[in-house]
Amino acid sequence: METYGKILLIAMPAFLLLVLLEKWYGVYKGKETVRTLDMVSSLSSGVTNVTKDVLGLSLIVISYEWMVDKMAITAVSSGFLTYLIAFIALDFAGYWIHRIAHEYNVFWNNHIIHHSSEDFNLACALRQSISSIIKIFTVFLLPAAVLGVPPQVVAIVAPLHLFAQFWYHTQHIGRMGFLEKIIVTPSHHRVHHAINKEYMDKNYGQIFIIWDKLFGTYQEELADVPAVYGITRPVRTWNPIKINFMHLWLLIKDAWRAKNWNDKIRIWLMPTGWRPADVAEKYPVYKIEDVYHFNKYDTGHTKPMVIWSCIQLMVTLLLISYLFGNIAAIGNPDMFVYGGFIFLHVYAFTELMDRSKYAWIWEGLKTALGLYIMVPNNDWFGLSQYMPFAVTILYGYFIVSFAVCLYFIKVENPRYHVQMQQA
């Protein structure tokens, strides 16, 4: 937990820098692929995901350590070959976990956030799930467990394997020659994120493309079929926490509304997108039919809104950096209170980005929790020992943040809706 937090203190600035560099490069080349509010939403999603992971908010049904203890037929020492075996085993497991997430209704909820952006860029790589609380697919690491690969090796390789999937989320790198036959490239992954019928449910590989070629899910990027990104039932929100649970909520409602008990049960393991016929007819859900003619989600890019959203993102990154750097000192249960504040903070400012008229309620709850944390000890989880004026700054921030939220709701939002009605 603490070690992963320390790793993220290095990784997060690097990812942020690369995301901003891609945005600058797109503007410079006249091919911008990063919309600012979409980028803020993606980075906010990344924050919630790593917060969940660092706090250990998940339940592993079968642990890798248990499988090694019970099933290993040999033991191997920690050398280069061991790390290579672990990397390949993780990639094999990753292929099947990824494929299952796409092909079955209940598991799609854990992955929908990653595909929810209607852009394709480095930022969308950071859209990762907070809804995968129960982890049941460790069993796919069985080959490594049987070979006796130590759990410590897997623990080291797993973050590296995850981080290695970041770079290929870009439209600025074309075909890569002979590497296209070996590893997952941007071209391969553009296909995977596309909603064109030619590309749907293809290229599940994470590092090695060989799995797709072996198991029949490979699709080459076609020159005459430009990739269109997103999901066919668009989420239409910037709020990453909402996105994480909206498919699950739809499944729950559909199961409740279905008249046939067989449909109530089988909906969970039916192919992704399947709905009972009676429910689909009575409660239709918008679906993109023509992928080349639809409007991307957009709530109006006024300069004040964009600037304020970026400020809120920077506040989020500063707060989460302090948590990760001092998680041992903050301790239990305070670190979970801190994590709860981060989630509430992200929910509040992304609701404002959505121009929700209820954003002030979430902002008020965030402010109330912040004051509840600070007032008793006149401190923010020990921050005053490093920054003497930290509490004063935070009090000021809460006041300004709530006031700005009210401004957008009471002043700018009405102007926006008038403009939309006149358009």
pLDDT (tens digit, 9 = 90+) per residue, 239-255? 999 999 999 999 999 99
E strand intervals along 317-397 = none
Q: What is the residue range of 382's domain?
A: 303-422
Strands 134-135 and 59-60, by their bridges, are parallel
Query: How far is the C-alpha of 262 from the C-alpha of 259, rounded, in Å?
Result: 9
Residues 201 and 323 both lie in one domain: no
Q: Are residues 194 and 320 in the same domain?
A: no
Asked whether residue 246 is assigned to any structural domain, the reply reads no
pLDDT attached to residue 412: 84
Q: Is 274 left (phi over 0), alpha (psi -120 to 50) or beta?
A: beta
Let me know if residue 70 belongs to a domain. Answer: yes
Q: Answer with the one of 215, 234, 268 that is the final residue of a domain.
A: 215
Buried b (16+ CB within 10 A) or exposed e, 196-229: beebeebbbbbbbbbbbeeeebbbebeeeeebbb
Spell out the residues 6+ positions from residue 95 whose beta carbon is closer than 8 angstroms to its own. 204, 205, 206, 211, 212, 215
Spell out where 71-224 has E strands: 134-135
Give the chain's residues under pLDDT 50. none
Query: Does the residue 249 lie in any domain?
Result: no
Q: 178 with 308, same domain?
A: no
Radius of gyration of the chain (CA): 23
For residues 196 and 308, membership in a common domain is answered with no
Show Cβ contacts of residue 281 under 8 Å, excluding neighbours closer than 6 positions.
none
* Tokens at 318, concatenated: 């500063």
| 178 and 317 part of one domain | no
Tokens of 107: 């598991």
- The whole-angstrom separation of Cα 139 and Cα 202 is 23
pLDDT at 79: 85
The C-alpha atoms of residue 131 and residue 94 are separated, in whole angstroms, by: 17
Give the tens place of pLDDT for each residue, 254-290. 999 999 999 999 999 999 999 999 999 999 999 999 9
| All residues at 6 or more sequence positions from 215 whose CB lies less than 8 Å from its CB, including other chains | 95, 99
Among the three residues 190, 215, 240, which one is the final residue of a domain in this structure? Answer: 215
Going by the DSSP 8-state scheme, the letter that residue 57 receives in this structure is -
* Lookup: tokens for 216: 């029949």
> What single DSSP character describes residue 385?
G
Q: Would you state the pLDDT for residue 417? A: 64
Contact 363, 405 (CB under 8 A): yes
Residue 208 lies in a domain: yes
Q: Which residues pair with 183 in a beta bridge?
A: 208
Q: Does residue 336 sit within a domain?
A: yes
Nearest to 193 by CA among 86, 84, 116, 289: 116
Task: Determine if residue 190 is left, alpha or beta; phi over 0 gives left, psi from -120 to 50 gives alpha, anything else beta.
Answer: alpha
Phi-psi region of 239 (alpha: psi -120 to 50; beta: other; left: phi over 0): beta
Q: Are residues 43 and 147 in the same domain?
A: yes
Cβ atoms of 383 and 338 within 8 Å: the answer is: no
| CB atoms closer than 10 angstroms to residue 130 | 22
Query: CB neighbours (10 Å) of residue 29?
Result: 10
Task: Calculate the alpha carbon distances from 133 to 37, 102, 116, 294 in Å.
Answer: 27, 17, 19, 34
Answer yes or no: do 52 and 179 share one domain. Answer: yes
348-384 in b/e form (b: 16+ CB < 10 A) is bbbbbbbbbeebbebbeebbebbeebbeeeeebbebb
Q: Which of 382, 312, 388 is nearest to 351 (CA)?
A: 312
Residues 195 and 78 in one domain: yes
Tokens of 334: 């305070």
Closest CA to 138 of 123, 130, 149, 127: 149
Residues 411 and 308 in one domain: yes
Do 208 and 184 contact (CB within 8 A), yes or no? Answer: yes
Query: 205 and 324: one domain?
Result: no
Total domains in the chain come to: 2
Among candidate residues 195, 215, 235, the one where a domain is terminated? 215
Torsion angle of the four alpha carbons 182, 183, 186, 189, in this order, in degrees rounded to the nearest 10: 100
- Together in a domain, 203 and 307: no
The answer to whether position 252 is within a domain reads: no
281 belongs to a structural domain: no
Cα–chain-centroid distance for residue 277?
Answer: 31
On whether residue 286 sits in a domain, the answer given is: no
Q: Tell me which amino acid residue 416 is.
A: Y
The answer to whether residues 374 and 391 touch, using CB atoms and an 8 Å cutoff, is: yes
**Which of 193, 43, 230, 52 has its CA nearest to residue 132?**
52
Q: Are 322 and 181 members of one domain?
A: no
